[in-house]
Amino acid sequence: MRLSDHANTVDLRPLRYQFPTASGDSHDDNWLVIGGSVTTPDAGWSFADPCLLTDEAREVAAWLRAVAEGTVAVTGPDADGELSPDTWFVEPVLAFSLADRYEAGVVLRVHLSLEGAPPWQQGNDGADLYQHVVEVQLDTAALLHAADQWELALVSFPTR
């Protein structure tokens, strides 16, 4: 799935199960390695990490559709200036929040922590979880297209 505007691009895709052979353990059998590529005016980086369970990965498309429908509220920083994502997962590598809504679309925040963070921020032991964000401005059609792309990519990765 590609989330892109005039300045920033975040490409996310499921690459494979972390463990190729199912063992009967519902968690281990369903970890997906997610590949990401991020481009901003200041930098670019990529990552590949087993950071989403199959069920969590499906929640991403549902959340994008909810944003498109207008049922997700805009969130800002808390009183201490910290950002909290709207949707997060067991592994805090990737998360999402809604930064703004305007007549023609929205501004999404893609939160990237730990292995998903830019290389110069990795190794901080999670002290800044969810604080590195890439904001992407999208219209409703682009949100729905991203949800469709994500769901299509997940077809090859059913819950085992």
Judged against a pLDDT cut of 70, whether residue 126 lies above it is answered with no
All residues at 6 or more sequence positions from 61 whose CB lies less than 8 Å from its CB, including other chains? 147, 148, 150, 151, 154
Q: What is the CATH number of domain 2-154?
A: 2.30.31
Q: What is the pLDDT of residue 124?
A: 63
Q: What is the pLDDT of residues 41-53, one digit of tens each?
A: 999 999 999 999 9
Lowest mean pLDDT among 14-18, 76-80, 111-115, 121-125: 121-125
Place of tokens 């999670």: 126
Query: In the chain, what's the furthest Cα-to-Cα distance?
Result: 49
What mean pLDDT is reported for the chain? 94
For the chain, the structural domain boundaries read 2-154
Indicate whether 115 pLDDT > 90. yes
